[in-house]
Structure 1
Amino acid sequence: MKTNFTIGIAQLNPIIGDLPGNAQKILELAQKAAFKNVRLLLTPELSICGYPPRDLLLNPSFVEAMDTTLQKLAQDLPPNLTVLVGTVVKNSQAHIHGGKTLFNSMALLQAGQIKQYFHKRLLPTYDVFDEKRYFEPGLQANYFTLDDIKIGVTICEDLWNDDDFWGKRSYAMNPIADLANIGVDLIVNLSASPYTVGKQQVREAMLKHSAVNFDQPIIYTNQVGGNDDLIFDGRSFALNRGGEIVSRAKGFETDLVVIEFDKKQQDLQLNSVTTPAESEDEEIWQALVLGVGDYASKCRFSQVVLGLSGGVDSALVAAIATAALGKENVFGVLMPSPYSSQHSITDALKLGDNLGIKTQILPIGELMQGFDNTLVELFAGTEFGIAEENIQSRIRGTLLMAIANKFGHLLLSTGNKSEMAVGYCTLYGDMNGGLAVIADVPKTRVYSLCHWLNSHSNREIIPQNILTKPPSAELKPGQVDQDSLPAYEVLDDILQRLIQNHQSAADIVAAGHDSAIVNRVIQMVSRAEFKRRQAPPGLKITDRAFGTGWRMPIASKIG
């Protein structure tokens, strides 16, 4: 009798809605797994349609097509391989007992057929999640038996309710405890868990606690890839009964991992364990490069354009885009005004040379004069101010959009999270674009990432002058950001406490910040909501991003 049972993790990068394409990706990894004598192959949550499908699920024909695709996949799979595939299942009792019409499920594909379905039990509604909009929760503990091994099945959120680990319970039930009570030999989890900084450490600590507490080996399978504003980091892993990580898949790329379950020892055996990123900066860099590359390719863009101001934000975005798409596919446009310093031009050109990307200079002085001439009568008797400053930004935004339209490029906007938070950005100007690459990256982290990149590359990518000069929008003579904003070290700490930690003004002042500055920042954040609502999607890297998980009113009064 064979003592080892071989399990494969298919860490997939699906395209949402591409049912045939996603099925083909599953099939290709299944064939590779079968060649390695894998008996059971695990795929991520909703792997047949990609996660999150959102309101595509409201289309009955899409749901029906998913079932048809799944049945064909079952027939195409290698005959000796059993595969768990993420899909949706109609709730046949919805018209009788009420509730949602769909379940978020895993299908057990075996011997050419769909043998069994397992329904997700815990449905998250926080942050970017809104699963109760579509799904009915499953009520039964999920397990099946294969080669005399009883395997418990959980789907993503089903793992995240151990009150002993969290110190609280968010749902009435704990699916892991239920499976342990049933006496399964192994628990598998099929996830589509979005990336945020530091989340992998939490996942591994949480599952280590569950493995030890319930004396259960656990395999965690995660989706990888960028889907709109969300980035999925992969990094699937497995733990033995002692809570030791015996295998970890690659981060931010597709992978196939094979793990051995020893029937005699009733435990998982040590396998390949990929080394995690050395720092948060490296992890964030990998996430943003994946996010840009996938957003462009999945939206059918091959080339991108962005404005190069000579500042640190556009420099970082250009570097990310070059790493994601290749230097030949990145176009940087310099648009100096009469207020632009010479070093802004030379710094931007040096950056372009360092990256090897194409650059073009389009001076905007004459365009500014044309606007001034048109508005001179209407603006007579008023002082030069924000309206005139913003015309410069809007001229640049218009030129960039014209280039994007003319050549079919994706326009990348370059604003950071600090600016987005307080509204230090211009609608229909620097906010123009199809993707806001660093909209969830605070200004202080922008500098940190640039320093990491130069150090990691063993050569200067971001010119040193960009990293040392005072940041400025250069919309009027001698302007620097700190004319309008607190120092970024101060601003970012206030924003972290306010946005991420949900601290009150009193709490933030008690932490050592000036009360007048705190109250002003809170007002700026509230008043900038109308701008954020009109911003392009921004790649999410924190637990509190200005994206699908941010649900603030525009018309409001805070403080």
Structure 2
Amino acid sequence: MRLALAQFNPIVGDIAGNAEKIAGLARTARDAGADVLVTPELALTGYSPEDLLLRPAFYQAVHVALDKLMEIDGITLVIGHPVQHGNERFNAATVIRDGNILGEYHKMRLPNEEVFDEVRYFSPGAAPLVFTQGDSKVGVLICEDIWGPEPAAAAQDAGADVLVVLNASPFHREKTVVRTQECRWRVEETGLPVAYVNLIGGQDELIFDGGSFAVARDGTIAAQLPQFAERLAYLDVENGDFRPADITPLPDPVEAAYRALVLGVRDYIGKNGFPGVLLGLSGGIDSALTLAIAVDALGADRVHAVMMPSRYTADISVDDSRDMVRRLGIKYDEIAIWPMYESFMAALTPLFGDRPADATEENLQSRIRGVLLMALSNKSGKLVLTTGNKSEMTTGYATLYGDMAGGFAVLRDVAKTLVYELAEWRNLQGEVIPRRIIDRAPSAELRPDQLDQDSLPPYDVLDAIMAEYVEMNRSLEDIVDLGYQATDVDKVTRLLKINEYKRRQAPIGPRITHRAFGKDWRYPITNRFS
């Protein structure tokens, strides 16, 4: 038996388009001698359709698409899709060959943690599905089913000698190792080889990285598909095991994070039909990295950067920004904001009275920049990319309706320390970020001689505390016990709490850790728990 693993990039809700893509992959696989094409989880609809799954018309469109796919002959199709039977909905896989339905499997284990909310939409399945292809008996599982022993054991008891798993497993930086280990445990328990087929593409905050693979009966990797690229790969089954196939080396964690961000930007802009992007360039590392990612995702011709200096903007910030845009060859403009700032202050000073200058005046500069970028966005149709990182989102070191104004926050889940690692990695591929931008101490440049560390703990300390509290759910006491200063822990967690209202109003951005602000993080704004 020859399996074809279809690692492809669907668009949520484009059911006819996704079906057409599956049909093309099926014909290509059939012509290459494949007996079975395995698609990812919910391949027909994309993952996750969220509340589209509550609409009857959605299932009608799925039914029409499945009817079209039944016209394909000469190859067995294992297609992921949602299905509704009476008042129940299921995350399903249908096995089709030559116009006949060989079986319909319903996912047994429904994830309901992190970014997953499947219990809201689906009922769990209760029965295994095993179909015969030549001399092989193929058991079908869906994603979370492989993360526990029962569904694989049920397929084994039903006679399976090979397992195929349809997945929509979103990326985070530790995910690849975890997936492989889970599959190895199932192989060890059942003695059956496992083919794991994963989705690829960006869907709002989520990034699906592909990286499909197969584990042979001895626990070795028999095949490895690339991450962050569509691929149709073939896997031969002989004597109940996989023959060794192509193994694509996986990127290191920093490269994987960078490529995930590029894919997230490319698909968010492309799938939503924006002609390009705008961003404010400051001469700092966050906007420089965002610009590099945008150009790598979309090409220089679809990126427009705007420098908006004030009297506090250092000359080297302007010089470095000009240097970077020359290297990248993008559209670039400069708009001086100080005349606008003075007009605002002339109107506001009588109302401010004799109150001393504070963050109000700093935020006003940022909000002027936000207004300018949004005006250019309205006029051009391009989406504004915001440039704030996860460390700033944690502590509220960002201006609501200022530098937070935009449509997609590229670095929303990227800690400041990782920002530097990503910049260094990108420059190793060809230096696009001027060295001085990386080496300079970070500053918002909203008042004289301002540095980030005047207001925040050192970023290596801040990011470590953030990771322990946000991503690991550790208490303040536990974090102090790890060796961090109580004053730093108190400050970071206090800032985190009081700035929840800001994060609720921030644009979405790609998720690259196992707990990002957004779907993963649901904390009450009005909250007195300490």
**In which range does the TM-score fall when normalised by the shorter chain?**
over 0.9
Assess if the C-alpha contact under 8 Å between 1:415 and 1:439 holds in 2: yes
Q: Name the amino acid aligned to 1:476.
A: R
Q: 1:455 aligns with which of 428, 446, 460?
A: 428
Residues 411-420 or 113-122, more deviating? 113-122
Aligned AA (2:514): D
Q: How does 1:7-406 map to 2 (within 5 A)?
A: 7-75=3-71, 77=72, 79-92=73-86, 94=87, 101-162=88-149, 174-262=150-238, 265-277=239-251, 279-406=252-379
Q: Which moved more, 1:392-401 or 1:513-522?
A: 513-522
CA contact (8 A) 1:526 1:558 kept: no
Return the offset for 1:467: 0.8
CA distance, structure 2, for counterparts of residue 367 and residue 70 of structure 1: 58
Question: Is 1:544 aligned with 2:520?
Answer: no
Aligned amino acid, residue 68 of structure 2: K
CA contact (8 A) 1:71 1:114 kept: no
Query: How big is the shift at 1:387?
Result: 1.2
SS of alignment partner, residue 283 of structure 1: helix
2:2 and 2:148 mapped to 1: Cα distance? 29
Distance 2:66 2:506 in 1: 37
Where does structure 2 lack aligned partners over 5 or more consecutive residues? none
Instruction: Determine the C-alpha separation between the residues in 2 that align with 1:113 and 1:412.
Output: 48
Q: Which amino acid aligns with 2:463?
A: D
Letter in 1 for 2:417: T
On the 8 A contact 1:526/1:557 being kept in 2, the answer is: no
Provide the residue aligned with 1:496 in structure 2.
Answer: 467
Cα pair 2:279 2:384 within 8 Å, conserved: yes
Name which of 487, 490, 506 aligns with 1:519.
Answer: 490
Supply the distance in 2 between the matched residues of 1:422 and 1:230 (Cα, whole angstroms): 23
What residue ranges of structure 1 are gaps of 5+ in the alignment?
A: 95-100, 163-173
Partners of 1:91 and 1:543 lie apart in 2 by 34
After TM superposition, give the deviation of residue 87 of structure 1 in Å: 1.1
Equivalent-residue separation in structure 2 for 1:91 and 1:338 (angstroms): 65
Q: Provide, for residues 275-334 of structure 1, a one-character-per-residue CA deviation record: whole Å limited to 9, x for no partner.
A: 111x21111111111110000000101311100000000000000000000011111100
Shift of 1:259: 0.6
Query: d(CA) in 2 for partners of 1:426 and 1:111?
Result: 59
Give the fraction of aligned pairs with identical amino acids, expressed as a percent: 44
Deviation at 1:112, TM superposition (A): 2.0
CA contact (8 A) 2:103 2:129 kept: no
Amino acid at match of 1:114: I
Contact 1:192/1:223 (<8 A) preserved: yes
> What is the deviation of 1:126?
0.1
Structure-to-structure mapping, 1:475-490, within 5 angstroms: 475-490=446-461
CA–CA distance in structure 2, aligned partners of residues 181 and 60 of structure 1: 35
* Shift of residue 113, structure 1, vs aligned partner: 3.5
Amino acid at match of 1:186: V
SS of 1:376's equivalent in the other structure is helix
Counterpart of 1:276, as a letter, is L
Conserved 8 A contact 2:102-2:131: no
Deviation of 1:495 after TM superposition, in Å, equals 0.4
The alpha-carbon deviation at position 45 of structure 1 amounts to 0.5
Q: For residue 186 of structure 1, report the CA deviation from its aligned partner.
A: 0.2
- The residue type paired with residue 23 of structure 2 is L
The root-mean-square deviation of aligned C-alpha atoms, in Å, is: 1.0
Give the conservation status (yes or no) of the 8 Å contact 1:71–1:113.
no
- The CA deviation string for residues 176-206 of structure 1, in whole angstroms up to 9 with x for no partner, is 1222233311000000000000211111122
Aligned to 1:429: 402
Rounded Cα–Cα distance in structure 1 between residues aligned with 2:75 and 2:354? 79
Displacement after TM superposition at 1:456 (Å): 2.9
How far the C-alpha of 1:347 sits from its partner, in A, is 1.1
- Tell me how far apart the structure 1 counterparts of residues 504 and 172 of structure 2 sit (CA, whole Å): 22
* Superposed displacement of residue 402, structure 1: 0.6
**Equivalent position amino acid for 1:53 in 2:** P
Q: For each residue in 1:423-470, what CA deviation from the matched residue of structure 2 results, as whole angstroms up to 9, or x when unmatched?
A: 10111110111110010000000001101111232xx21111111111
Aligned partners of 1:220, 1:351: CA distance in 2, in Å? 42
Question: Given the two structures, how large is their TM-score scaled by the length of structure 2?
Answer: 0.99
Q: Is the 8 A contact 2:130 2:158 kept in 1?
A: no
- CA drift of 1:553 comes to 0.5
Q: What is the alpha-carbon distance in structure 2 between the residues aligned to residue 503 and residue 356 of structure 1?
A: 45
Answer yes or no: is the 8 Å Cα contact 2:476–2:489 preserved in 1. Answer: yes
Distance 2:319 2:253 in 1: 31
Cα distance in 2 for residues equivalent to 1:384 and 1:314: 27
Q: For structure 1, which segment, 6-15 or 201-210, has the greater mean C-alpha deviation from structure 2 after superposition?
A: 201-210
- Identify the range of structure 1 (504-513 vs 287-296) with the bigger mean alpha-carbon deviation: 504-513
2:32 maps to a residue whose letter is K
Residue 429 of structure 2: SS of its match in structure 1?
A: helix
Letter in 2 for 1:522: T
Deviation at 1:114, TM superposition (A): 3.3
Are 2:389 and 2:416, in contact at CA under 8 Å, matched by a contact in 1? Answer: yes
Contact 2:130-2:159 at 8 Å conserved across structures: no
Instruction: State the one-letter code of the partner of 1:524.
Output: L
- Which of residues 387, 390, 399 is equivalent to 1:417? 390
Contact 1:22 1:49 in 2 (8 A): yes
When the two structures are superposed, what TM-score results if normalisation uses the length of structure 1?
Answer: 0.93
Instruction: State the alpha-carbon separation in 2 of the partners of residues 47 and 135 from structure 1.
Output: 16
The 2-side partners of 1:548 and 1:67 are apart by 30
Q: How many residues align?
A: 530
Q: Structure 2 CA distance, aligned partners of 1:489 and 1:402?
A: 36
Give the drift of 1:91. 2.7
Residue pair 1:310, 1:345 contacting (<8 A) in 2 also: yes
